Structure 1
Amino acid sequence: MHLERSIQGPPPAVSRHLETIEREIANFSELLTDILTIGKIDVGRISFHPEPVDLVALTNRVIETHFADRKDNRVVDVLIEGEPERVSVDQKLISHVLVNLLSNAFKFSQSNPKLLIRFGAQVVISVIDQGIGIPAEEQAHLFQTFFRAKNVVNIHGSGLGLVIVREFVELHGGTIRIDSVEHEGTTVTFTLLKG
């Protein structure tokens, strides 16, 4: 009997506890990483190495690496407007921006998030969800360290992600804007300079 149990793995109750522990370790690790990143930003020690990059290919790699095998089978719907071209970015930093914004879109919505990349005089990237949205009176505080809207207190997060995202976008000479309607969804749009 004991040999049979060890081959089958731990009992369901133990498996649930192990999954909870694993999830909490990941959450703590993410928080620690964010705090260290904020510290580096504050002292001007973020490594920034832009190079010409195929932004569509980079986006596809980010999606494949971080969002391809979701348990809920949701996917990122990618839309491209204009003629794709190489853009000078730091791949690590822009990957972080995309992962954060898409993770938020999945976290705060039940539908597939959309990622729209528009190539024109500048590159405009929007992450769109049809989720819980952000209360209007709280939107002015979204880029404050540790701020979390009142409607997300029961959803995991540190209140640091958007602060880091804004810093990384601005390091590239870009801008970021959030448009949201509570109970309807959120669109986060950021720009990147070409060349």
Structure 2
Amino acid sequence: MENISYEHRVKDARAPYWQAAMRPDEDLRSALEYSPDGIIVICHDDTVKFVNESFTLLTGIKKEQILSQDQQVLNDILTRLSSRVIEKGRVGLLYKLRQDNFNNPHKFYRRKTDRVNQLFTETPEFRVLQKIVRHPSDGAVKEIIYYRDITHDYHSNVTKSEHLLAAAHELRNLIGNILGFSEILKTKLCAQDENAFLVEAIHSQSGFLNQVLKDLLSLNQFEINAGSEVELQKVELNTEVRKMTDYYFPPANRPPIEFIPATRRIEVVMDVNKFKQALYNLISNAYKYSSGRVIVKVNAPSAEHEVAITVIDYGIGITCEQQKHLFKKYWRAKADQAIEGSGLGLVLVKEIVELFNGRVEISSEKDKGTAATIFLPRQLS
């Protein structure tokens, strides 16, 4: 078969081979062979039946390495391939630099990566491949796996994030100045002054914008390719959460947080400052969307390998349908539009908690309240 370069294949339209995938075997094989995407066909016995030339060009893996092999062999090879790139620090979920091992053994770095649906290669240049799985309706084969080169989009998203980060930093500096000057004006004006209300409004809205930008900067820091520093350390959870709740100042005329510790000592590994940011976001939401008491509870079932930190309020709550959208960036329920918010808080909480291999769950009932729970792995002795 004539050897056609990968660059030449990419210029061809992709639509025909998607349509040809449902044709008889020869048409299917021809369409898949000349596809610009790397393609692998898996039989019903879980062996690799077909590998096209583009897959070799994109990954550097030769056909004879995987043809007729079990799919698990393929998965192991691809995992090792991505891991080599991740260990070099280009991408990765959580890694540490060798030079930090001695000076700061708790310092880690995180870079946003989808290790399930993305493949990272260096053949020889850095590439990001998106994995797409299709199951032909005729049942002739188990599945067809496409590996599409999305390197350009990957770098474009990084560039956009960097520009957004730079713009947000500049805006935050300007808003910080407005906050400072309005604070000075507030101290110089008496309550009866006709301009006092305007100054208070400027100060209040500037504070809100400052918080929005703070959330945006934090979220971008997790998503941007440059990564985010993580200072992991073992801590006693009851002690840390109690300190955080004691130092949190509720809104005016609202009761302080009710803290309910676990009945025994609990150790976890986490970045205390980042966890505080996540917990404060949940507590802030609890006060924002309720008018009564707010409870923070630590619980560690003896049979479980994780601990739970739950923030409970008895406020407006949300419907089951609305709960499906809670972790979408910028999403807010229609009923919440009158309440200040950016739609970034819960997204940021989820990003932070996942740093520690944790998860977030929201349980809520309309007009009855909400319980937001952070689950973290226990440090078992």
Q: Does the 8 Å CA contact 1:37/1:164 hold for their aligned counterparts?
A: yes
* Residue 194 of structure 1, CA deviation: 1.8
Residue 95 to residue 7, structure 1, CA distance change in 2 (3 Å) = closer
Instruction: Give 3-state SS (helix, strand or coil) of 1:147's partner.
Output: coil
Deviation at 1:156, TM superposition (A): 0.5
Farther off after superposition, 170-179 or 118-127: 118-127
Distance 1:154 1:110 in 2: 15
Report the equivalent of 1:3: none
Deviates more, 1:114-123 or 1:52-61: 52-61
| Structure 1 unmatched ranges of 5 or more | 1-5
Match of 2:237 among 55, 62, 65: 55
User: Which stretch of structure 1 is more off in the superposition, 117-126 or 6-15?
Assistant: 6-15
Which residue of 1 is the match for residue 310 of structure 2? Answer: 126
Residue 326 of structure 2 corresponds to residue 142 of structure 1: yes
Q: In 2, Cα distance between the equivalents of 1:115 and 1:7?
A: 39
Pairing partner for 1:65 from 247, 269, 281 = 247
1:158 to 337, 342, 365: 342
Please name the residue that 2:212 is paired with: 31
Structure 2 residues without counterparts, runs of 5 or longer: 1-186
When the two structures are superposed, what TM-score results if normalisation uses the length of structure 2?
0.47
How far apart are the structure 2 equivalents of 1:54 and 1:83?
A: 10
The one-letter code sitting in structure 2 at the alignment partner of 1:60 is R
Q: Secondary structure at the match of 1:116?
A: strand
Scaled by the length of structure 1, what TM-score is found? 0.89
- SS class of match (2:246): helix
User: Cα gap change, 1:10/1:107 in structure 2, threshold over 3 Å: closer, same or farther?
Assistant: closer
Is 1:109 the equivalent of 2:109?
no
Moved over 4 A (4+): none
Q: Is the alpha carbon distance of 1:163 and 1:8 closer, same or farther for their aligned partners in structure 2, counting shifts above 3 Å?
A: closer
1:48-77 residue CA offsets vs partner (Å, 9 max, x unmatched): 111012322322232233226x42141111
Structure 2 counterpart of 1:187: 371
SS of equivalent to 2:195 = helix
**Secondary structure, counterpart of 1:134 in structure 2:** coil
Letter in 2 for 1:76: I
* Conservation of the 8 A alpha-carbon contact between 1:84 and 1:119: no
Residue pair 2:312, 2:370 contacting (<8 A) in 1 also:
yes
Distance 2:350 2:338 in 1: 24
Letter in 1 for 2:338: N
**Is this contact kept in 1: 2:316–2:366, CA < 8 A?**
yes
Shift of 1:38: 1.7
Q: Report the alpha carbon displacement of residue 158 of structure 1 after superposing the two structures with TM.
A: 0.2
The corresponding residue for 1:175 is 359
- Give the CA deviation at 1:8: 7.6
Instruction: Give, in whole Å, the separation in 2 of the partners of 1:19 and 1:166.
Output: 33
The range that moved more, 97-106 or 10-19, is 10-19
Between the two structures, name the one with larger relative contact order (CA 8 Å, sep ≥ 6). Answer: 1
Task: State the 1:13 CA deviation.
Answer: 3.2
Residue 190 to residue 16, structure 1, CA distance change in 2 (3 Å): same
* Distance of 2:188 and 2:338 partners within structure 1: 37
Change (3 A) 1:12 1:55: farther
Structure having the higher Rg: 2
Tell me how far apart the structure 1 counterparts of residues 332 and 299 of structure 2 sit (CA, whole Å). Answer: 29
> Residue 190 of structure 1: SS of its match in structure 2?
strand
Counterparts of 1:131 and 1:154, CA distance in 2 = 15
Shift of 1:131: 0.5
Query: Alignment length, in residue pairs?
Result: 189
Distance 1:174 1:13, change over 3 A: same
In structure 2, what is the Cα distance between the partners aligned to 1:94 and 1:27? 22
Measured at CA, do residues 85 and 7 of structure 1 come closer, stay the same or move farther in structure 2, by a change above 3 Å? closer
Q: Which amino acid aligns with 2:368?
A: E
Q: Deviations over 1:1-47 (max 9, x none)?
A: xxxxx988363432222221111111111111111112111125222
Structure 1 window deviating more from structure 2 (70-79 vs 137-146): it is: 70-79
